[in-house]
A and B are shown apart, each in its own frame.
Chain A
């Protein structure tokens, strides 16, 4: 019996050749798959709690008289300065949330494609390696920027709205740019970090362990060495501290450790370069066994 209920038919349309089209469907798919994961929706909305708390802080800062009873003895706590932004962007809990987000969204992004040999399906299309990586990176970028850039801008916007004037922007005109710069650094770093690890294994659980383990281990190793040697340059061992150093510098605040922040930035750039080199090597349309 024929399985053809009707014969083959041609498609009458015209294929597009736009570069945007090339990677965007992968991004959309990545976002869709993330929301299909168990507990992800709960985590996703919970991840905005710190931003809501900081936003409430901005509101309270403008209504100090109404809330004076709550902040007795800590008048400096709710002064909205770049330090307030530094407190949001560089606090350990926020960075840890980003790591958890990467575990949820990114651990299987490339690992699953390797496991289920999807790369050859993708690369049989007019899709370049860079399009593939952009598509995957944009998936991570979507979530990372939602937690960094968007709240950062909302903080600035709400500060202006609550204050009813532009005094804040006149005092710190560079602050929105610092928010953009640091959000982009966080996004690029975590996206490349996650994709690199995802490309190193075809098991997404192993990748999740690596994302969490390496981030945590680098901080633990720093702690052990620092306790023994008290040398500030040991800060370069910790991924978290390097991000915090760069963040503090961009927001024009005191560094966490007395080490030029350029070293931390250089180290992060080198790690990203290494990650891209690994990705370039690992992403192949076919496995070549030599």
Chain B
């Protein structure tokens, strides 16, 4: 890593699949991880990761990963980055330790070192008992761990994790998240791409929210939660529709959760206006509580609809 390099420094990145615009004007700066890349399916998360690894060629803009130019220094980037793909991917016919060592060697590790390190990382991710089993006999959860192990084998400075908990049972998910936190605590920069919001909340301080190929929000998670809107939980009696329409005219957004309304009130708007409009529209406010914004709320607020 070049001195004082940022993890990511992307300037106006654009990428189209033919006529379909996948990313447009994406500018992201991340000083240090762990960072979450959040967005609904089709938001452009995987495309962004593929651009960072040089799998796809940037069509507009420019980007640096750990100080290295993504377009001109692909090889260098790939040497210092570990990638855990979303898809199930492996080489059939070989055991876990051989596969992991092979990928370490392809990263530039000496053969014996790669084999030794493969044992270490497989032990670390909890596959010590299954190291010598052929990878096609692994369960989904074991393959997920194997993908994490191969991403770590060459001791990268940054790991890109694409949907790391996808398809895991709750215990497996917890274990993977625990590993991600531990890796991050040991000085490896981590970028987690996920549409599972609690995964990001559990592992990351920084978050980038992508929507329709553009950055919808970016920053410190705690700071972002404080931005723009105050979240209230509201219950009303009476005809709610005109009341909510009036709130919307004032810049509020709302969602219904069973008999409860989640109300995003612009920061400049006093909650008093809720009572004023309620009186005006002859509805009764039965319950009004200021709520701590969770990532789901932030996600819904920025993206517009929850997955």
A residues with a Cβ closer than 8 A to B are 2-11, 13, 15-18, 21-22, 25-26, 29, 32-33, 36, 112-113, 116-118, 120-128, 284-286, 288-290
Q: Is the CB of A29 within 8 A of B124?
A: no
With both beta carbons as reference points, the residue of chain B lying nearest to A118 in the complex is identified as B91
CA distance A11 to B114 in the complex (A): 10
A120-B186 in contact (CB<8A): no
A194 → chain B, closest Cβ, in Å?
18
**Cα of A125 to Cα of B81 in the assembled complex, Å:** 8
B169 at the interface (CB under 8 A from A): no
With A3-B179, A22-B106, A121-B91 as known contacts, state yes or no: A8 contacts B188, CB within 8 Å. yes
Verify if B3 is at the interface (C-beta below 8 Å from A): no
Which residues between 54 and 87 of chain B lie within 8 Å of chain A, taking CB atoms?
55-56, 74-76, 78-79, 81-83, 85, 87
How far apart are A288's CB and chain B's nearest CB, in angstroms?
A: 6
- Confirm or deny: B107 has a beta carbon within 8 angstroms of a beta carbon on chain A: yes
Question: Inside 8 A of B126's CB, which chain A residues have their CB?
Answer: 3-4
Measured between beta carbons, the chain A residues less than 8 angstroms from B305 are none
Task: Indicate if the CB atoms of A17 and B108 lie closer than 8 Å.
Answer: yes
- What number of B residues sit within 8 Å (CB to CB) of A? 55
Cross-chain contact B89 with A116 (CB below 8 angstroms):
yes
Q: A13-B110, A126-B75 are in contact. Are A25 and B102 (CB under 8 A)?
A: yes
Can you show 28 pairs from A to B with CB atoms below 8 A apart?
A: A2-B175, A2-B178, A4-B124, A4-B126, A4-B178, A8-B183, A9-B124, A9-B186, A11-B109, A11-B117, A15-B154, A16-B108, A16-B109, A17-B79, A25-B105, A25-B106, A112-B93, A117-B88, A122-B103, A123-B53, A123-B55, A126-B76, A126-B79, A126-B106, A127-B78, A288-B56, A290-B18, A290-B20
B56 in contact with A117 (CB, 8 Å)? no
Expressed in whole angstroms, the Cα–Cα distance for A286 and B49 within the complex equals 11
Q: Which residues of B contact A (CB under 8 A)?
A: 17-18, 20, 50, 53, 55-56, 74-76, 78-79, 81-83, 85, 87-94, 102-103, 105-111, 113, 117, 120, 123-126, 128, 150-152, 154-155, 175, 178-179, 182-183, 185-188
Q: A126-B108, A288-B17 in contact; A7/B186 too (CB < 8 A)?
A: yes
Determine if A127 and B106 form an interchain contact, defined as CB atoms under 8 angstroms apart.
Answer: yes
Most chain B CB atoms below 10 A, which of A29, A33, A121, A290: A121
Pairs A-B, 7 closest by C-beta atoms: A15-B108, A3-B126, A117-B89, A11-B155, A124-B83, A285-B55, A125-B106
